[in-house]
Structure 1
Amino acid sequence: MTSSENENDPNPNDFVVFLVIDEDSIDNGDESNNFSDTDVNDQIAAIGQREQLRFFKENVGKTIELYTGEVGDEGWFALKTIPNRWVNAGPTENGLRNFLVPGPGIGSPNIDDDREVLLDEIPDVIPLRATGLKMLVGYKVIAVVYDGDISINYSPLEGNLQGANLGMVAFEVLSVRERTDGSDSFLPAVSIRILDVPALSDFGRVLFSNAPVLQSSSEPFDVVPPATTTIPVLIQAN
């Protein structure tokens, strides 16, 4: 287990936080970047797609700003745990690695030719609002990007990770600012520095285990990044 609150932990430069991101943050034609279809792999979107998004691959080192959705329709999500069914699916003994490959039933066909049977009702998929986003400042992220919305149930808290993927992205979170350019439910804009996904292959992958848990699709109404936050507790993904 790796926790960022332990003085013996590795430097943040040695690991990356795993997230999933949906169309409310990265999509063709979004108002923050006006990505084209090919910029975000929209023309090759598919279940289990894991190619790096073209714009990110071609702009390593560039700083851009991403919007993150709004309260009740978030764009960034943290997984606090990895389901045992992903571990059991193979091809490795590491469930997150199996999702990223992807393994049978979690993006590739299983014996019944079902690519998505293990991707519904995933426990503890946490939508990130302002406080959770601010906690990631200074950390590297690797994420699978979805072509549509990631849906969340709150009783119990579960996410549906079925659906086509655009691929993967990696970046460092530089800053988080309040949005004041539209709806009062808009979540913050996040400034990121684009990183290269393959270049992070030797980095340990960790889960954002103390991402703030939400009570409902509207509570808390957390849209303003706090001045200070607690330190993320990051555990080794298994």
Structure 2
Amino acid sequence: MKNIFAFLITAGVLTLSSCSNDNDPSTPTPPGSDDKPVFLVIDEESIDNGNPPNNFSDVDVNDQLASVGFRQPLQYFVANVGDTINLYTGDVGDEGWHALKTIPNSWKTAGPTANGARNFLQAGPGLGTGADPEILLDEIPDVTPLRATGLAMLKGKTVLAVVYDGDVSINFGPLEGNLQGANLGIVALKVIEVTRRTDGSSMSLPRVKVRIENAGTVSGRSLYLFTNAPIPSSSSVPGDIIPPATYPDAVLTEAP
């Protein structure tokens, strides 16, 4: 009887030990999992104080703390992990969600790690900190504004985003983004639904229903680039505002 009791205790300890690692940020994401964090940048068209439909306060979104290179999770999102909310995503030509598709070599050599995406996430030298904190953040190739099709392709995916206090400026021909400017911090979101907005303008992009994830946990995983995010022809073409019924699978490549 004592041996059986000891076995049950041992099994229980092993089970608890196994479960305790489920949320360990160092745990690698299984290959092929939809929980691979897609690395994005989100700007004020989607998350900002006073923005509909959430009307966040300045404290909710770290507005009083906003600065170049600020990377703490947004307060509302820290306090409401597991909740589901809706976010607007801007308008055609003034998008709120942007995919990073190319990591410049300068980011990889900036430090503090050998991974360029990780260095941007950690606001390394020239990427938010250092003597010239924004020197490596202009004319970033292939920063891709997401319209309805690109947003729909993220359904079921987890995204990790650096959130900007202002607009992310995009130039076309070649496609480049300016990632200079103050940051509100980071958020992690699971994309649940992408639906057409019927309460905005004729160029309003979809409403995205997301579940708030633990940004501290998600940021510890390997980061992935949304490499086949659709590339708009210009700031106004295509007028891609309605999520399509069918769309390609998102191709996610581990960020270098």
Taking structure 1 as the reference length, what is the TM-score of the superposition? 0.94
- 1:88 to 2:109 alignment: yes
Which runs of no fewer than 5 residues in structure 1 stay unpaired?
1-7
Of 28, 43, 46 in structure 1, the residue corresponding to residue 67 of structure 2 is 46
Cα distance in structure 1, aligned partners of 2:133 and 2:45: 24
Q: Is the 8 A contact 2:160 2:219 kept in 1?
A: no
Residues 42-71 of structure 1 deviation map (CA, whole Å, 9 limit, x = unaligned): 000000000000000000000000000000
Aligned residue type for 1:46: S
- 1:57 to 2:78 alignment: yes
Question: Alpha-carbon deviation of 1:201?
Answer: 3.9
Aligned-partner SS, 2:233: coil
Residue 23 of structure 2 is matched in structure 1 by none
Within 5 Å, which residues of 2 pair with 1:1-238? 9-13=31-35, 15-109=36-130, 113-238=131-256
Aligned residue type for 1:162: Q
Query: What percent identity do the matched residue pairs reach?
Result: 61
Question: Alpha-carbon deviation of 1:88?
Answer: 1.0
Aligned residue type for 2:183: N
Query: Compared with structure 1, are the counterparts of its residues 201 and 75 closer, same or farther at alpha carbon in structure 2 (3 Å cutoff)?
Result: closer
Cα distance in structure 2, aligned partners of 1:170 and 1:9: 19
Cα distance in structure 2, aligned partners of 1:192 and 1:119: 28
Question: Alpha-carbon deviation of 1:9?
Answer: 4.1
> Could you say which structure has the larger radius of gyration?
2
Cα distance in structure 1, aligned partners of 2:114 and 2:120: 11
Aligned-partner SS, 1:12: coil
Cα distance in structure 1, aligned partners of 2:233 and 2:53: 29
Aligned-partner SS, 1:132: helix
Question: Alpha-carbon deviation of 1:89?
Answer: 0.7
Cα distance in structure 1, aligned partners of 2:175 and 2:247: 23
Pick the structure with more helix per residue: 2
Query: Relative contact order: is structure 1 or structure 2 higher (C-alpha 8 Å, sep ≥ 6)?
Result: 1
Aligned-partner SS, 1:86: helix
Aligned-partner SS, 2:156: coil
Question: Alpha-carbon deviation of 1:224?
Answer: 0.2
Taking structure 2 as the reference length, what is the TM-score of the superposition? 0.87
Aligned-partner SS, 1:85: helix
Question: Alpha-carbon deviation of 1:182?
Answer: 2.4
Aligned-partner SS, 1:107: coil
Which runs of no fewer than 5 residues in structure 2 stay unpaired?
1-29
